[in-house]
């Protein structure tokens, strides 16, 4: 998939039509991080997305589908999930997850491709998503609802990780908007708003004490800062990496030696690094789960255990495995869907990265390159976090996937048609 051959994916040049479906789409981007549940895993975001899909299906607008290769890969993944259901302990749980994946690929992504048809719609949707997450953080900051370990949890569930994970993908986009506003001369707005947003995101990481989210946020931050203007000279890359390292050291020292942020994260990190812990550590538990997942795959390479069913059989593949799924994205797919399902999902992810990398090398303006690298950094951080805790069924993170396709196709097509002027010397400095 590339911007030249697949411009049809988003239906040509869009103007961000603010009709009823368009307004509903933007509203859904705002409530997506609020994770308002309707029935079990079905959220208000899913409900609005389904409603938009019906409006598009029976309305005058044409519904634009992902490329056929992506649809085919999705069908292979669904078939692998259904096949694994025949081996599963609780087939209904496997079927329910198959339906959720079907919703992502054949409802959610087509809706995004149809409605987010311009740079304006992409930017507004991203801004509203950031705003929605900040609402979650502000509520958590005011209420300070904690679990037994003292970790702050969001208002919609009791999992503290849910408070921290969105920070991984938001950091590059917050920086993108900050750089863009700075170039427009809005220096005071950047300093005030940027400082407030940065504090809230750091507070979310430290209050939730999510070690995986903290590490993944560092990944997304480094990728964006170092490569935001495409591939630079080695000297520039090393200089930027050194700058990021100094910045992270300053932030780390602030968290560790001051009371500006909660010390929950500091305490958890110290316990993780402690060598005198008795019994099984969290790292030991996750290694055992991943080992059990690999053993399950090797025992049945083509037919997995079924979605959301590994937890019931993991102990048969490793005595130390606990009642959870593997905490590694690829081990989880290998164990639950077999080789074909894992390969299909790998294709879905890699094709997105290839599209984004190909397009960023062809756009001319600094702002456009930085937008594409914000997507790449966000998804890179999310993939890094998925090595510790997969998040593939969180529908609002697939919003990032769909918006990235639209941004790449739109910006690449503008470049092909010559609507973007050549960069000035100042832009490439």
| Secondary structure letter of residue 230 according to DSSP | B
Model confidence, pTM: 0.89
304 found inside a domain = yes
- List, for residues 134-148, the tens digit of each pLDDT value: 999 999 999 989 887
Q: Give the Cα separation of 374 and 305 in Å (integer).
A: 36
35 found inside a domain = yes
| pLDDT score at 278 | 52
Kindly state the tokens that stand for 47: 């409900």
Range of the domain at 139: 7-268+290-416
Would you tell me how many other CB atoms lie within 10 Å of the CB of residue 36? 14
Q: Which residues contact 198 (CB under 8 A, 6 or more apart)?
A: 174
13 found inside a domain = yes
Query: Please, are residues 58 and 21 in contact by the beta-carbon 8 Å criterion?
Result: no
- List, for residues 67-126, the tens digit of each pLDDT value: 899 999 999 999 999 999 898 889 999 999 999 999 999 999 999 999 998 889 999 999
Q: Give the Cα separation of 80 and 333 in Å (integer).
A: 10
Kindly state the tokens that stand for 365: 């303006």
274 found inside a domain = no
Kindly state the tokens that stand for 10: 């988003």
| pLDDT score at 231 | 76
257 found inside a domain = yes
Query: Please, are residues 342 and 336 in contact by the beta-carbon 8 Å criterion?
Result: no
- List, for residues 232-275, the tens digit of each pLDDT value: 778 888 888 899 899 889 988 888 888 889 888 888 877 766 65
428 found inside a domain = no
369 found inside a domain = yes
What 3-state DSSP class applies to 228?
strand
For the chain, the residue count is 429
Domain total for the chain? 1
Q: Give the Cα separation of 337 and 297 in Å (integer).
A: 9
Q: Give the Cα separation of 131 and 129 in Å (integer).
A: 5
325 found inside a domain = yes
């Amino acid at each position: 998939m590339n911007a030249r051959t697949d411009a049809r994916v988003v239906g040509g040049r869009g103007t961000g039509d603010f009709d009823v479906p368009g307004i509903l789409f933007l509203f859904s981007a705002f409530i997506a991080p609020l994770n308002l549940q309707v029935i079990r895993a079905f959220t208000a975001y899913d409900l609005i997305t389904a409603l938009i899909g019906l409006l598009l299906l029976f309305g005058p607008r044409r519904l634009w589908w992902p490329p056929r290769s992506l649809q085919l890969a999705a069908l292979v993944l669904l078939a692998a999930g259904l096949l694994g259901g025949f081996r599963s302990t609780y087939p209904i749980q496997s079927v329910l997850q198959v339906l959720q994946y079907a919703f992502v690929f054949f409802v959610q992504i087509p809706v995004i491709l149809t409605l987010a048809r311009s740079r304006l719609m992409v930017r507004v949707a991203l801004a509203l998503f950031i705003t929605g997450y900040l609402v979650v953080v502000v509520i958590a900051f005011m209420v300070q609802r904690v679990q037994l370990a003292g970790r702050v949890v969001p208002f919609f569930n009791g999992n503290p990780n849910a408070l921290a994970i969105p920070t991984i993908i938001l950091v590059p986009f917050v920086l993108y908007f900050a750089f863009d506003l700075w170039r427009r001369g809005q220096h005071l707005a950047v300093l005030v708003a940027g400082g407030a947003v940065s504090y809230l995101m750091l507070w979310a990481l430290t209050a939730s004490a999510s070690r995986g989210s903290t590490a993944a946020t560092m990944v997304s931050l480094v990728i964006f800062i170092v490569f935001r203007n495409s591939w630079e000279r080695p000297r520039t890359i090393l200089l930027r990496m050194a700058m990021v390292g100094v910045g992270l050291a300053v932030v780390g020292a602030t968290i560790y030696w001051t009371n500006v942020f909660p010390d929950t994260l500091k305490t958890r990190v110290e316990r993780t690094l402690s060598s005198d812990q008795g019994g099984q550590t969290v790292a030991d538990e996750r290694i055992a789960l991943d080992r059990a997942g690999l053993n399950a795959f090797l025992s049945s390479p083509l037919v997995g255990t079924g979605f959301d069913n590994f937890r019931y059989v993991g102990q048969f593949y490793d005595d130390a495995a606990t009642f959870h799924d593997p905490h590694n994205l690829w081990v989880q797919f290998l164990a639950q869907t077999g080789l074909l399902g894992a390969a299909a999902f790998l294709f879905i992810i890699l094709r997105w990265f290839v599209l984004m990398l190909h397009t960023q090398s062809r756009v001319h303006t600094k702002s456009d390159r930085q937008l594409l690298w914000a997507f790449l950094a966000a998804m890179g951080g999310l993939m890094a976090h998925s090595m510790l805790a997969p998040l593939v069924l969180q529908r609002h993170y697939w919003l990032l996937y769909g918006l990235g396709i639209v941004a790449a196709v739109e910006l690449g097509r503008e470049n092909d048609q010559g609507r973007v002027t050549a960069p000035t010397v100042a832009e490439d400095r």
